[in-house]
Amino acid sequence: MSGNRTYYVTTPIYYVNDVPHIGHAYTTLACDVLARFKRLDGCDVHFLTGTDEHGQKIETAAAAAGLPPQAFTDKVSQSFRDLIGVMNYSPDNFIRTTEPRHYAACQALWKKLVAAGDIYEGKYAGWYSVRDETYFVEGETAVGPDNKRRATSTGAEVQWVEEPSYFFRLSAWADRLIAFYEKNPAFIGPDSRRNEVLSFVKGGLQDLSVSRTSFSWGIPVPGDEKHIMYVWLDALTNYITECGYPDQNAPLWKYWPANLHMVGKDIIRFHCVFWPAFLMAADLPPPQRVFAHGWWTNEGQKISKSLGNVIDPVELVKTYGLDQVRYFLLREVPFGNDGDFSRRALIGRMNADLANAYGNLCQRVLSIVAKNCGEKVPPRGELMEADTALLDRAKGLLAIVRAELDEQAFHKALTSIWEVIADANRYVDAQAPWALAKTDPVRRDTVLWVLAETIRRVTLLVQPFMPDATAKILEQLAVPPEKRVFAAFDHELVSGTALPPPQGVFPRFIEPAAPAAPAKPPKQPKAPKQPKVAG
């Protein structure tokens, strides 16, 4: 892989009307794994996350908190920054839409759209969801059992809005968008979302209201400051703000177009319809790919604040461990599908996949090496068919994992790796190096070398998913930092290299015992009946 290849991956910028939850952690984790993998694979990576801080919903939430909007966004934006450390993410920058450079980029894009003839002034009358910051046509809303009109797609309450507005000529872009999708079939993933977007666009597009006058917390429209920009035009622009727009000679402009925008399925329309139309109208290339993942439920229930079942990633990490949570979130559910979060499933993965399969393989192999090989990498003797079969599977993993991650198939990548871990565990049992220690020490050493080398290759590929745990395993194999990149994937362990004492990395998780019920007080003897006294 050429070190000159750029790779730009972005999370959606998170709306700061509340604190981060498992959905935010999930999206950023997926981007973090891709960024780490691509860096290890020799790419020049730029990984961006940040916060979306304008709009009516923010203005309302700030008022409810008794704070000015800027002070409110400062506070909540910090909670998203804090999550970076909790989850061990590795972004190259954190962008906020309240930054002056972002105001400049948005206003420059607006002027470009006006000059292209794609923005005109008019009046908006229709349904608007403050929660979704989205406009809906009549057919996309319905009156619910509570007699409130709601968006049928999201369940959010909508209100009738009439106000002066600028419009983007989205209706003129339907044919050009369809042509773009057909020319770039990988632009939208997974396929179910691509079909959804195609259906929406083929159903006809209406011009999009792109300014508001009924509130003031946002970026002013150039030349008409009674209007502020529609929050989605503002928010989407962050991806090019980061690259230096409108200065296409800026150092970071080399990263545009982005290789991947990672989003939740609820915001795919903004990223796959509005955003490419805005960009093409401004004579800019759209991103190469947008991938929309699914939603989590909690033990079978939809997650909501009203049910009190919001999953706090900080609490998960404190309870179960950082790398364990990172592994589970990307292994448990096919990425792109909806999935159910279950603590029982998390503990099951921790104990079966991490403690029993991977951790036990590392611990017992390195313990036998320490005991029998003088705490050094054992000699590599003559390889037998069983040895080359295992080594070949481990060697082939890089190409497999690279291809799966380019499709955002995190679960498939991890499944492929764990299949080789299972092969290695079966190989240990079949070769029984503890028995060979007495009967054939030369063969024992070869078996142990094959196992140590397999662990090295597997661990190199697990690094993006579990960086802390894998660093400990690679230290126990005496693999120096410069040999932990994929350019060194085929640099086999050198026999005779001194090894540190082995230590367990993935302990089994034992659920704390439920507190014992308080002992019942002993029954008091009944008082003897008093004899009746004749009156």
CATH number of the CATH domain containing 424: 1.10.730.10
Q: Are 401 and 40 in contact (CB under 8 A)?
A: no
* Cα–Cα distance measured from residue 297 to residue 408, given in angstroms and rounded to the nearest whole number: 21
Q: What is the 3-state secondary structure (H, E, C) of 373-429?
A: CCCECCCCCCCCHHHHHHHHHHHCHHHHHHHHHHCCCHHHHHHHHHHHHHHHHHHHH
pTM score, whole prediction: 0.91
> Does 529 fall in a domain?
no
* 75 vs 65: CA distance, rounded Å: 11
216 DSSP assignment: -
Can you give the pLDDT at residue 168?
Answer: 98
Give the three-state DSSP class for 258: coil
Residue 90 covered by a domain: no
What was the pLDDT predicted at 137?
80
Phi/psi for 71 (5° steps) reads -65, -40
Strands (E), 53-192: 93-96, 119-129, 134-136, 141-143, 149-151, 159-168, 188-189
Instruction: Order the strands of the 224-229 sheet from edge to edge.
Output: 211-212, 224-229, 220-221
Tell whether 92 is covered by a domain.
no
Is residue 284 situated within a structural domain? no
Residue 303 within any structural domain of the chain: no
Question: What is the C-alpha separation between 524 and 520, in angstroms, rounded?
Answer: 12
Decide if 314 contacts 344 (C-beta within 8 A). no
Question: Exposed e or buried b for every residue in 307-318, given b needs 16+ CB within 10 A?
Answer: eeeebebeebbe
Q: Give the number of domains in the chain.
A: 1
| Per-residue pLDDT at 416 | 98
Structure tokens at 31: 């981007």
Q: How far apart are CA 217 and CA 54, in angstroms?
A: 6
Strand order in the sheet with 119-129: 134-136, 119-129, 159-168, 208-209
* Residues facing 211 on adjacent strands: 229
Boundaries of domain holding 452: 343-488
Output the six-digit token pair for 198: 């195609």
* Pairing relationship of beta strands 93-96 and 44-52 according to DSSP bridges: parallel
Residue 437 lies in a domain: yes
List the pLDDT tens digit at each of the 535 positions of the chain: 444 699 999 999 998 877 888 989 999 999 999 999 999 999 999 999 999 999 988 998 899 999 999 999 999 899 999 999 999 999 999 999 999 999 999 999 999 999 999 999 999 888 988 888 787 887 889 998 898 999 988 888 999 988 899 999 999 999 999 999 999 999 999 999 999 999 999 999 999 999 999 889 999 999 999 999 999 999 999 999 999 999 999 999 999 999 999 999 999 999 999 999 999 999 999 999 999 999 888 888 777 666 777 889 999 999 999 999 999 999 999 998 998 999 999 999 999 999 999 999 999 999 999 999 999 999 999 999 999 999 999 999 999 999 999 999 999 999 999 999 999 999 999 999 999 988 999 999 999 999 999 999 999 999 999 999 999 999 999 999 999 999 999 999 999 999 999 999 999 999 876 665 565 666 665 555 554 444 3
Q: Is residue 409 part of a domain?
A: yes
Question: Is residue 349 in some structural domain?
Answer: yes
Map tokens 């979130």 to a residue. Answer: 329
| Contact (CB, 8 A) for 95 and 50 | yes
